């Protein structure tokens, strides 16, 4: 942290700030300029309330230096983290693809999706059994019966299973069936749930809250990492803006930006990010080109009959075409997709 003093602040005020910095266990370096003095506080500033320095007489401004997250930060770990679950790999040169329906609907549907994902070269099957729906009257998911069907589809195909868990109490149940626990966008700041998945022993896909800043999102990841779970993936799924032509606005600069800030793999969900099936393939391709470590894409045997999110789901032929395009791009930038 840097404390910038007001112009010509008296020595007594400077000493007062420097003394408090020392009391808090940091080293204070006083740098006297021609007009202003700044005090550089050296040490782990995350443990102190740096805003409290704004209250000191003679202080003009307080500037944090360290990111408020630590475990998620590149300062802690320079090499990219690769999350490996069964044949699914995300990060460090691998682009992992999770495909499947928005919701598990019945055995025929989920098994058909799993076979199609596998045939196209995807490595994880998605499908919601516990669904967070805006309306309480909308289909809420098959719950444990849905988890059992995901397990069945996994047994047949060997794909890793990723599915959402909505409450901390449900974590043991969902972790019994899932390989990767998905934290939905609406739950990104449910801190007790984050701690629970942090203790689950399962990899976690942390979706970005539609109104969350990147810093809030990384701090949410920090909750999971702090419980000793290193297998955390961040999933950009679009944010809420003034634009109404797409369901959300999908900011792809998030991908290279996060790669500067964190070692965690960055996944993109172009289905929720656009809300239109005709935009999904282009945005999936753009995500891979931007450096995404994985994709999460909704697909369905008959999208127009889907119980949820059919309008943004690809059919099997479209999913296959998307995979071919994305693989071409991945290969061109020296990565492996699957
Ligand atoms: C989903 O993946 O089906 C889902 C509900 O996504 P989000 O939490 O990003 O809205
Ligand atoms: Mn969905």
Look at residue 76 and tell me if it is in a domain.
no
Q: In this structure, what CATH number is given to the domain that contains residue 42?
A: 3.30.70.1140
Are both 253 and 132 inside the same structural domain?
A: yes
Are both 251 and 314 inside the same structural domain?
A: yes
- The protein residue with its alpha carbon nearest to ligand 1, atom 6, reads 184
Cα-flanking dihedrals φ and ψ of residue 43, to 5°?
Answer: 145, -175
Q: Which atom from ligand 1 is nearest to the alpha carbon of 238?
A: 9
Question: At 270, which helix (H) or strand (E)?
Answer: helix 270-274
> Which residue, 321, 313, 325, is CA-closest to 287?
325
Q: What is the DSSP string of 72-133?
A: TBTTT--SPP-EEETTEEEBTTEEEEEEE-SB---HHHHHHHHHHHHHTT--EEE-BSS---
pLDDT tens digits for range 224-256? 999 999 999 999 999 999 999 999 999 999 999
Sign of CA dihedral 319, 163, 95, 88: negative
Look at residue 77 and tell me if it is in a domain.
no
Q: Which atom from ligand 1 is nearest to the alpha carbon of 308?
A: 3
Look at residue 97 and tell me if it is in a domain.
yes
Q: Which residues pair with 211 in a beta bridge?
A: none
Are both 320 and 278 inside the same structural domain?
A: yes
CA pair distance 281, 323, nearest whole angstrom: 9
Ligand nearest to the CA of 163: 1
Cα-flanking dihedrals φ and ψ of residue 232, to 5°?
Answer: -115, 130
Q: What is the pTM of this model?
A: 0.94
Are both 59 and 94 inside the same structural domain?
A: no
> Which residue, 198, 206, 202, is CA-closest to 225?
198
131-136 contact pairs (CB < 8 A, 24+): 131/102, 131/103, 131/164, 131/308, 132/164, 132/166, 132/184, 132/186, 132/187, 133/308
Tokens coding 46: 């995350």
Domain boundary among the residues 33, 63, 93 is at 63
Are both 168 and 50 inside the same structural domain?
A: no
pLDDT tens digits for range 43-85? 988 888 999 999 999 999 999 988 899 999 998 899 999 999 9
- The protein residue with its alpha carbon nearest to ligand 1, atom 10, reads 185
Q: Give the three-state DSSP class for 334.
A: coil
CB 65 within 8 A of CB 1: yes
Are both 146 and 266 inside the same structural domain?
A: yes
Q: Which of 132, 183, 187 to mutate to test the pocket of ligand 1 (most atoms within 8 A of CB)?
A: 132
Look at residue 207 and tell me if it is in a domain.
yes
Q: Which residues are found with C-beta within 5 Å of the ion, ligand 2?
A: 102, 309
Look at residue 174 and tell me if it is in a domain.
yes
Are both 56 and 97 inside the same structural domain?
A: no
Are both 185 and 319 inside the same structural domain?
A: yes
User: Does residue 29 register a pLDDT over 90?
Assistant: yes
Q: In this structure, what CATH number is given to the domain that contains residue 88?
A: 3.20.20.70
Cα-flanking dihedrals φ and ψ of residue 228, to 5°?
Answer: 95, 10
Are both 55 and 112 inside the same structural domain?
A: no
CA pair distance 285, 104, nearest whole angstrom: 26
User: Does residue 284 register a pLDDT over 90?
Assistant: yes
Look at residue 176 and tell me if it is in a domain.
yes
CA distances to 12, 98, 158, 225, 270 from 88, rounded to whole Å, are: 60, 8, 10, 20, 19
Residues lining ligand 1, Cβ inside 6 A: 102, 128, 132, 184-186, 207, 237, 272
pLDDT band at 166 (very low <50, low <70, confident <90, very high): very high
- For 93, the domain range is 83-337
Total domains present in the chain? 2
Polymer length in residues for the chain: 338
Are both 161 and 202 inside the same structural domain?
A: yes
Are both 49 and 115 inside the same structural domain?
A: no
CA pair distance 152, 314, nearest whole angstrom: 22
User: Does residue 214 register a pLDDT over 90?
Assistant: yes
CB 303 within 8 A of CB 262: no
* Cβ-based neighbours of 275, under 8 Å, separated by 6 or more: 246, 247, 248, 311, 312
Look at residue 104 and tell me if it is in a domain.
yes
CA pair distance 8, 94, nearest whole angstrom: 55
pLDDT tens digits for range 85-98? 999 999 999 999 99
- The protein residue with its alpha carbon nearest to ligand 1, atom 1, reads 102
Ligand nearest to the CA of 133: 1
> What pLDDT is recorded for position 46?
87
pLDDT band at 306 (very low <50, low <70, confident <90, very high): very high
Mean pLDDT over the full length of the chain: 97
Domain boundary among the residues 17, 33, 63 is at 63
Look at residue 71 and tell me if it is in a domain.
no
Are both 202 and 287 inside the same structural domain?
A: yes
CB 125 within 8 A of CB 157: yes
Q: What is the DSSP string of 190-242?
A: -HHHHHHHHTSSSEEEEEPPTT--HHHHHHHHHHHHHTT---EEEEE--B--S
């Amino acid at each position: 942290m840097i404390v910038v003093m007001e112009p010509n602040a008296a020595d007594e005020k400077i000493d007062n700030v420097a003394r408090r910095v020392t009391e808090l266990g940091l080293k204070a370096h006083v740098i006297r300029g021609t007009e202003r003095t700044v005090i550089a506080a050296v040490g782990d500033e995350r443990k102190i309330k740096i805003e409290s320095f704004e209250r000191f007489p003679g202080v003009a401004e307080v500037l944090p230096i360290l990111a408020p997250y630590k475990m998620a930060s590149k300062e802690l770990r320079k090499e990219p983290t690769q999350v490996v679950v069964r044949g699914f790999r995300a990060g460090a040169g691998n682009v992992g693809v999770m495909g499947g329906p928005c919701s598990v609907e019945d055995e025929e549907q989920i098994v058909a999706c799993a076979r199609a994902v596998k045939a196209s070269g995807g490595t994880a099957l998605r499908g919601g059994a516990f669904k967070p729906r805006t309306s309480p009257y909308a289909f809420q998911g098959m719950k444990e019966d849905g988890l059992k069907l995901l397990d069945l589809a996994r047994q047949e195909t060997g794909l890793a299973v990723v599915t959402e868990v909505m409450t901390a109490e449900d974590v043991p149940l969902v972790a019994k069936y899932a390989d990767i626990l998905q934290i939905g966008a609406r739950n990104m700041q449910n801190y007790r749930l984050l701690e629970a998945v942090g203790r689950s022993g399962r990899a976690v896909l942390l979706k970005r809250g539609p109104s969350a800043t990147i810093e809030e999102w990384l701090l949410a990841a920090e909750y999971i990492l702090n419980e000793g779970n290193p297998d955390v993936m961040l999933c950009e799924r679009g944010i809420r803006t003034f634009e109404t032509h797409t369901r959300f606005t999908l900011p792809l600069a998030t991908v290279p930006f996060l790669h500067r800030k964190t070692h965690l793999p960055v996944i993109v969900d172009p289905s929720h990010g656009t809300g239109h099936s005709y935009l999904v393939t282009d945005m999936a391709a753009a995500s891979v080109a931007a450096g995404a470590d994985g994709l999460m894409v909704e697909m369905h045997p008959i999208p127009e009959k889907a119980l949820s999110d059919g309008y943004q789901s690809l059919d099997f032929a479209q999913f296959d075409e998307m995979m071919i395009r994305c693989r071409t791009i991945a290969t061109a930038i020296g990565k492996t997709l699957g």
